[in-house]
Amino acid sequence: MTDAVVVRNLSKAFEDVQAVAGISFTVHRGELFGFLGPNGAGKTTTINLLTGLARPDTGSIRMGGIDCTDRPRAAQHLVGVVPDESNLYPELTGFENLCFCAALYGLPKAERRKRARELLETFALAAASDRKFASYSKGMKRKLTIAAGIIHRPDILFLDEPTTGIDVASARQLRQLVAELHDRGTTIFLTTHYIEEAERLCDRVAFIVSGRIVRIDTVEHLVQPVQEKHAVRISFATTPGDLQDGLSESFPTLGFTFAANDVLRVESDRPVRVGPLIRFLEEHGAEVSEARRMRPSLEDIFVEITGIEADAMRGEKEKKGGGR
């Protein structure tokens, strides 16, 4: 069985920016592969290179067994693309847009109309099917753009930040649709800057920063090192006095860091017994308001590997995307 996407040493520069700097990866058939990275990391550029909208400076690309290195448009019949910005025709209705996109892939008329109705139904857009695309809300536009990307049932689907800039409910609905497509065997290449999204959906994840892949692995493997760590977060009602030294002396197997004045993070290689800990703290005059076991996540690993604060990454995006 051939792999869906095989990329070797791919790079691409624009005037003064090295957008993609020698990346290599393989996406297996039927896999949901995540590309996770901050703004300007080179995610969209990678998609453009793979889908024939840009020509690589170096490297090779194979898609569905077809060598696309010198013929960037050779595998387009296999591919569906959902770009980061909706690029459908504003003056056509939702239904017309979908039928037009299906026609580009040569679907016969009856099938085009059937598929278009089906997808409008699936994406809860049936009521808006005869309205012009220009009048759609942001979330509706996103959904129709995704529908247009899958209307020809592509083997390999590229999704560029599908949930950026839409509300929580729509984002959840979209993730569910992506998961369903994945279950039906579509190979999916998904870029995102939402770590939880990658964690929830993807089989494997590549971290990309400044055009370079810093790590690729299955989500399980990625979170394993932090999985084995046990962490507890203790919040105080009032800021306690200096407890650090006393704590380290009394609990030598635990690591303590104050994340803020009133938040203590406790780490250990074994499960943390919180009872004695809280008793100790209360005896020393601290007033504990909450103790919570932390679920280790991809976020911790991402921060550890890339040195990029996940919150900073998200914050920047929200300004651009208008929130999720």
Partner 1 sequence: MKLWTAFWNILRKDMRTYYLKPPNISWGLIFPLAWTGMFFVRSGSGLESIPVLLPGVVAVSVLFGTTSMLAVAITFEKKNRSFERLLLAPVPLELLMLAKTTGAILFGVANAFVPVIMALFLADLSELAWGAFVPAVFLIAVASTFLGLFIAVAVSEVFEAQTFSNFLRFPMIFLCGLFFPIARLPVFLRPLSYALPLTYGADVLHGAVHGGHSMPFALDFAVLGVFCVGLFAASLANIKRKWIA
Ligand X SMILES: Nc1ncnc2c1ncn2[C@@H]1O[C@H](COP(=O)(O)OP(=O)(O)OP(=O)(O)O)[C@@H](O)[C@H]1O
Report if residue 72 touches partner 1, rule: CB under 8 A: yes
Residues 213, 65: Cα–Cα separation, whole Å: 23
Report if residue 129 touches ligand X, rule: CB under 6 A: no
Residues 71, 67: Cα–Cα separation, whole Å: 8
What are residue 124's phi and psi, to 5 degrees? Answer: 55, 40
In the bound state with Mg ion, the residue whose beta carbon lies nearer, of 164 and 297, is: 164
Report if residue 87 touches partner 1, rule: CB under 8 A: yes
* Residue 259 structure tokens: 């994340």
Among 67, 91, 121, 290, contact with partner 1 (rule: CB under 8 A): 91
Q: 30 — alpha (psi -120 to 50), left (phi > 0) or beta?
A: left
Produce one character per residue of 195-205: b if its CB has 16 or more CB atoms within 10 Å, e if not: bebbbebbbbb
In the complex, the smallest distance separating the C-beta of residue 35 from partner 1, rounded to whole angstroms, is: 18
**Segment holding 95, helix H or strand E:** helix 94-104
Report if residue 79 touches partner 1, rule: CB under 8 A: yes
> How many residues would you count in the chain?
324
Residues 174-213 that bind ligand X (CB under 6 A): 193
Closest by CA to 32, choosing from 150, 205, 215, 193, is 205
Q: Which does 17 bind (CB under 5 to 8 A by kind): Mg ion, ligand X, partner 1, none?
A: ligand X
In the bound state with ligand X, the residue whose beta carbon lies nearer, of 198 and 243, is: 198
Residues 158, 146: Cα–Cα separation, whole Å: 10
Among 5, 7, 10, 19, contact with ligand X (rule: CB under 6 A): 19
In the complex, the smallest distance separating the C-beta of residue 87 from partner 1, rounded to whole angstroms, is: 4
In the bound state with Mg ion, the residue whose beta carbon lies nearer, of 184 and 320, is: 320
Q: Which does 53 bind (CB under 5 to 8 A by kind): partner 1, Mg ion, ligand X, none?
A: partner 1
Report if residue 42 touches partner 1, rule: CB under 8 A: no
Q: Which does 105 bind (CB under 5 to 8 A by kind): ligand X, partner 1, Mg ion, none?
A: partner 1
Q: 205 — alpha (psi -120 to 50), left (phi > 0) or beta?
A: beta
Tell me the residue nearest to Mg ion as measured from the CB: 44
HSE-up of 120 (CA within 13 Å, CB side)?
A: 21
In the bound state with ligand X, the residue whose beta carbon lies nearer, of 43 and 152, is: 43
Closest by CA to 111, choosing from 215, 119, 314, is 119
Q: What is the DSSP string of 212-228?
A: EEEEEEEHHHHHHHHHT
In the bound state with partner 1, the residue whose beta carbon lies nearer, of 89 and 137, is: 89
Among 2, 73, 270, 315, contact with partner 1 (rule: CB under 8 A): 73
* Residue 28 structure tokens: 């297996």
In the complex, the smallest distance separating the C-beta of residue 197 from Mg ion, rounded to whole angstroms, is: 15
In the complex, the smallest distance separating the C-beta of residue 226 from partner 1, rounded to whole angstroms, is: 39
Residues 302 and 314 sit within 8 Å (Cβ to Cβ): no
Residues 38, 58: Cα–Cα separation, whole Å: 23
Among 13, 18, 53, 118, contact with partner 1 (rule: CB under 8 A): 53
Among 4, 10, 42, 310, contact with ligand X (rule: CB under 6 A): 42
Residues 62-101 that bind Mg ion (CB under 5 A): 84
Handedness of CA 277, 279, 285, 286 (dihedral sign): positive
In the complex, the smallest distance separating the C-beta of residue 260 from ligand X, rounded to whole angstroms, is: 29
User: Which residues are near partner 1 by CB under 8 A?
Assistant: 51-55, 72-73, 76-77, 79, 81, 83, 85, 87-92, 100-101, 103-108, 148
User: Which residues are near Mg ion by CB under 5 A?
Assistant: 43-44, 84
